Amino acid sequence: MFCGRYDRELDDKGRVGLPGPFRDELQSRKFDRVYITRSKIESERFLEVYPPDEWQRLVGTLKQKSTLDLNLQLFQIFFVGGTHEVPVDRQGRILVPLKLREFAGLNHEVAFSGMPDYFQLWDRTALERTVKFAEDRIGDRSFRNTLGL
């Protein structure tokens, strides 16, 4: 499981060090690469980063669905088609491809955000806006009820 938020800085080449707990989790599972793709919540763009086993599980789920479904086609064009396989170097860094950095508006200040099976990479300011948006929504009891919590 990937938990927590970690602020980091992208270097001039587009490399960023993985947070220690995320790096340790990948190493414990003997993974030396990740899959990075585009994602979006409302108008905020960010990246999703998957360990190989979770990426294969997701792709396997997609393969079981009808390829005639327009929404699935659009999702695959955007999500799968935008994916890059990226090695984790010996210093625990990843090189975020330029096209993905441009998509997510990543400059110098970035933030990692943990999810149960993967993690996200955000422009720090965009994540702060999204956390505020989430905070406003979570305060509404009807929102929590839709989640069954």
Q: pLDDT per residue over 32-56, tens digit each?
A: 999 999 999 999 999 999 999 999 9
14-27 pLDDT, tens per residue? 999 999 999 999 99
Looking at residue 145, its pLDDT comes to 84
Given this model, what pLDDT does residue 67 score?
Answer: 78
Round to whole Å and give the CA distance between 41 and 78.
14
pLDDT tens-digit profile of 85-104?
Answer: 999 999 999 999 999 999 99
Residue 122 has pLDDT above 90, yes or no: yes
pLDDT band per the 50, 70, 90 thresholds, residue 149: low
- The domain of 32 spans 5-146
- What are the two backbone dihedrals, phi and then psi, of residue 7, each rounded to the nearest 5 degrees? -85, 135
Tokens describing residue 143: 């929102």
CATH of the domain at 53: 3.40.1550.20
- Number of structural domains, the chain? 1
CA distance 59 to 45: 21
Which alpha helices (H) appear in the chain, and where do they start and end?
20-28, 52-63, 70-75, 98-104, 124-138, 141-146
